[in-house]
Structure 1
């Protein structure tokens, strides 16, 4: 395995262990011990720890080592942290938090997009919505999710708010996470798909109140759908 592959594998192992609580806050990680335990070089171990530090999962201090931070200090908007948390035992709580963030942000982004989106962005949203309808009819869930990611990412970008746009990767991980966890219906919901088309039209026609209302309905319906599917597991 390459250095890059070893680094990525160790990063995944440590990231999931920290976010799941298997390695608790306050625990000290030592490079030499990590290298020996996981059969990698100290360089690989240091690279993995450096990435974890950038995500605020750990912090390093001279003569102490690298200490795992408490969950309240993590960068919870980092897509990789989202993915690791969704892989843990508290995935239900994580999905609810993701839905709450989306409910707070996406309707407002849709309203802004209806006011500020470029003609190209309005046209692209209409195309993506049409593609969602086509894929829903074919039952192609994996492809449907990827187009849905592109749709919601574009709504955030078209808002003209750079901070909203920055949440595109976060939203993408929330949508893809549902699919990875088999929390998508076998056939995409027809009502939700139709609402995406209506959102695109509302933004294209510069109707901010309608775009906001429809996006609020989309996010609320998705949250209810997840709760229903979680209850069956």
Structure 2
């Protein structure tokens, strides 16, 4: 039954990795603990050794586990995890959706997105500004027309990435690429719980107009308001951190 269930939603190795990853992030397997041996995982999931090895390799790439010939596969400390990996973020949000995770994501975003907006307004090229305006129009249309969450969240992601790229700050652009998974996850969560699309559009429009109008200080403030409103919308949906 488990094998048929996994096959229905994706490749076997990906789904085994997804299940084990969720168990690690939820605390079922604590840091330093050994995962069940390969044969036990094969029996539990009803899959081949090759499938289990591919799943474990994927988790090792996310720095959730480390494989050693002498001690087997052990869970790494939290500090070692690749917290910007999309799957790791998703597992944390699914199993530990608490205020701390939301605060972590938005504290990171507050650190550089308002300044990126300032720089985009000041230093962005005409083509950069046209891209920002284009992605805003796509986002506004998706929200107001009630398009699927994935469509709307991707439009929001592209809007924010366009602003970061328009900053022409090499480090910001690198950070933007690195935190793309965090931006995507937060965008998906926000769009899933949007209750007043017109207000969201207005907040994004204020950022867009300030950047396109080349008003740097106003652009930074508008981004701060947008992020603050987004954070406040997500926090009530969280549970208290343990």
User: Which TM-score applies when normalising by structure 1?
Assistant: 0.86
Any idea what the Cα deviations from partners look like across 1:107-156, whole Å, max 9, x if unmatched?
12212222333322211211222333344433446243332122112222
Question: Match of 1:154?
Answer: 162
| Residue 31 of structure 2, aligned match among 1, 13, 25 | 25
Instruction: Report how many aligned residue pairs link the two structures.
Output: 226
The alignment partner of 2:11 has SS state of helix
CA distance in 1, matches of 2:104, 2:85: 14
CA distance in 1, matches of 2:197, 2:136: 13
Question: Match of 1:15?
Answer: 21
Is 1:170–2:176 an aligned residue pair?
Answer: no
Question: Match of 2:194?
Answer: 185
Question: Match of 2:115?
Answer: 108
CA distance in 2, matches of 1:110, 1:100: 16
- The 3 A distance-change label for structure 1 pair 186 and 140 is farther
After TM superposition, the structure 1 = structure 2 runs for residues 1-233 of structure 1, keeping only pairs within 5 Å, are 1=7, 5-29=11-35, 30-140=37-147, 142=149, 143-160=151-168, 161=170, 162-166=173-177, 167-179=179-191, 182=192, 184-190=193-199, 192-230=200-238
CA distance in 1, matches of 2:80, 2:174: 20
> Does the CA contact (< 8 Å) of 2:98 and 2:238 recur in 1?
no
The alignment partner of 1:22 has SS state of coil
The alignment partner of 2:120 has SS state of helix
Q: Which runs of 5+ in 1 are unaligned?
A: none
> Does the CA contact (< 8 Å) of 1:82 and 1:174 recur in 2?
no
CA distance in 2, matches of 1:113, 1:197: 15
Over the aligned positions, Cα root-mean-square deviation in angstroms equals 2.3
User: Which TM-score applies when normalising by structure 2?
Assistant: 0.83
Q: Which runs of 5+ in 2 are unaligned?
A: 1-6
CA distance in 1, matches of 2:44, 2:143: 47
The alignment partner of 1:60 has SS state of strand
CA distance in 1, matches of 2:97, 2:144: 33
